[in-house]
Amino acid sequence: MTHIFHAYPAKFIPQIPKLFIEKYTKPGDTVYDPFVGSGTTLVECKLLNRNGIGIDSNPIATLISICKTTKLSSDEIIIANNFLLDIEAILALRPSNFHLQYDYLNTIDFQNKEHWFQNNVQIELSFLIKKIREIKNEKIVRFFEVCLSSIIVDVSNQESNTRYAYKEKSIQNFKTLNQFVKRGKMMIERISDFSNICSDSKIEIYTQSSEDVSFIPNESVALVITSPPYANTYDYYLYHKSRMNWLGYDVRKTQETEIGSRDKHSSKKLEINHFLKGLEKCFKECERALISGGYAVIIIGDSVIRGELFDAKLFTKDLFAKFGMDLIEFSSQNLKETTRMFNPKFTNELKLEHILVFKKN
């Protein structure tokens, strides 16, 4: 389905939300994911006819989530296909003056642009953004913004989606347009299938911190399923920095709102308590929004901060106990078996990842 649209660090495998949605809710119920990331929970909600609410502080996360859960009509699919045909026509000719001709569009500016992007790539990306913004239909604009976002790291000098390090890649002329078309075709195929089979359930997605979601009514959610950041493990704002720069989002604000980042706990050396306070606010809101008898499924990993191991199961259990919610089921596995960490500073033999199920009485 649309799950494959965009790479995302620490993304759920879809079977996890699917299993718990089927186990703990019925069609028409509302499911809430306060750290929605790339929207895996919400795609499953659409497929299983549950309403969904998703929050993320990162605008790239919410852009992807909205795109992955928004149906396109057959007329809209035709518009999207025609858009790609226009770019394919350029690729068929590969005009030798293309980069000279469109150099004037290369006006989106940000710090270290030259370091992270070759000039030919900058021109092709600028060309694509201009073309996308000329589309009249907002859903299709978003669809192609996600398509562009999904290829940006590949055509940049950033090593990978979870490593913000320089790597010279020598990107050939027209590779950016070519990747965009390839990706776009795959996405159109998937969104057509998704639009044909998904339900008409209601999905709401907001870009903000989930520490205060007072607009979600008390006792309106049957299930919370989420995976918060694993403290001191990732920097979501940094992995999406180039994407945010090209698409015009506020990187600094995103950096400040993100809880548990390596930036906060390794670079700025904040203590674990900073993360715990933020997490407590988010979980308190979950408890408030849950119906009595509702469930919260939390997938969370242990962390190492200043060389000290923090047991995520213990602190999550204590936080939920404060709100009177009991741990009714759990399973834990070694993180080493499920993640690829490049920096030994952030690995630890004893680090576990937990699936914790809480029930509101």
Interface residues toward ligand SAM, by CB under 6 A? 8, 10-12, 35, 37-38, 40, 55-58, 61, 209-211, 227, 229, 236, 257-259, 278
Tell me the C-alpha distance between 340 and 325, whole Å: 33
Q: Which is nearer to ligand SAM, 98 or 275 (CB)?
A: 275
Q: Which is nearer to ligand SAM, 57 or 70 (CB)?
A: 57
Q: Which is nearer to ligand SAM, 84 or 231 (CB)?
A: 231
Q: Which is nearer to ligand SAM, 55 or 289 (CB)?
A: 55
Q: Which is nearer to ligand SAM, 132 or 203 (CB)?
A: 203
DSSP per position, 76-89: HHHHHHHHHHHHHH
Contact call for residues 232 and 266 (beta carbons, < 8 A): yes
CB of 233 to ligand SAM, least distance (A): 9
CB of 113 to ligand SAM, least distance (A): 23
| Coil vs helix vs strand at 81 | helix
CB of 161 to ligand SAM, least distance (A): 12
Q: Give the Cβ contact number of residue 319 at 10 Å.
A: 19
67, 141, 153, 194, 213 from 63: Cα distances, Å: 6, 11, 16, 17, 19
Q: Which is nearer to ligand SAM, 118 or 162 (CB)?
A: 162
Residue with the CB atom nearest ligand SAM in the bound state:
37
CB of 15 to ligand SAM, least distance (A): 12
CB of 299 to ligand SAM, least distance (A): 8
Place of tokens 């795959």: 186
Tell me the C-alpha distance between 219 and 87, whole Å: 49
Sign of CA dihedral 64, 301, 224, 194: positive
Q: Which is nearer to ligand SAM, 83 or 295 (CB)?
A: 295
Tokens of 113: 């642009």
Tokens of 90: 């350029």
Residue 251 φ then ψ, to 5°: -65, -45
CB of 257 to ligand SAM, least distance (A): 5
Amino acid at 325: M
Tell me the C-alpha distance between 84 and 70, whole Å: 19
CB of 359 to ligand SAM, least distance (A): 21
